């Protein structure tokens, strides 16, 4: 299982989304966790589609800081246990493998 995590400090510009697509093309990990996106759900729902992922869970930013989206492929079964402005805690499985996933930023 692959997880791509990137502290990107905003996903509002075209070069950032283009670079994420390039990384996805090289690795196409089961999860992608771009930290500090500074974007709300409405914007990131479009990004999920462009990157080829199935769904996302997002902790919306507060003002001009934060924003934690966790995106995953359709082959992943996931349940979000808890999330707040600093972390997303999830449980799930990929093709017979169970896992716990804690994605954090402090």
The CATH code of the domain that includes 37 is: 3.30.1370
Q: Which domain holds residue 20?
A: 3-76
Any idea what the Cα angle at residue 90 is, between residues 39 and 78, rounded to 5°?
95
Q: What is the mean pLDDT of residues 3-16?
A: 75
95: pLDDT strictly greater than 60: yes
DSSP per-residue codes, 29-84: -SEEEEE-----HHHHHHHHHHHT--EEEEE--BTTB--EEEEE-TTEEEEEEEEE
Instruction: Show the tokens assigned to 99.
Output: 């896992």
Whether 18 is in a domain gets the answer yes
Whether 95 is in a domain gets the answer no
What integer pLDDT is reported at residue 83 of this predicted model? 92
Q: What is the mean pLDDT of residues 14-30?
A: 82
Give the whole-angstrom CA distance, residue 19 versus residue 1: 21
The number of distinct structural domains making up the chain is 1
What is the reported pTM? Answer: 0.81
Whether 94 is in a domain gets the answer no
Whether 40 is in a domain gets the answer yes
Whether 27 is in a domain gets the answer yes
């Amino acid at each position: 299982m692959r997880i791509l995590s990137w502290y990107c400090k905003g996903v509002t510009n075209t070069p950032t989304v283009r670079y994420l697509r390039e990384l996805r093309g090289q690795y196409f990990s089961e999860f992608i966790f771009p930290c500090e996106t500074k974007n709300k759900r409405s914007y990131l729902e479009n990004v999920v589609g462009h990157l080829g992922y199935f769904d996302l869970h997002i902790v919306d930013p507060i003002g001009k800081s934060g924003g934690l989206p966790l995106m995953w492929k359709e082959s992943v079964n996931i349940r979000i246990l808890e999330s707040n402005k600093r972390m997303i805690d999830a449980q799930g499985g990929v093709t017979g493998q169970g896992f716990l996933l804690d994605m954090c930023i402090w």
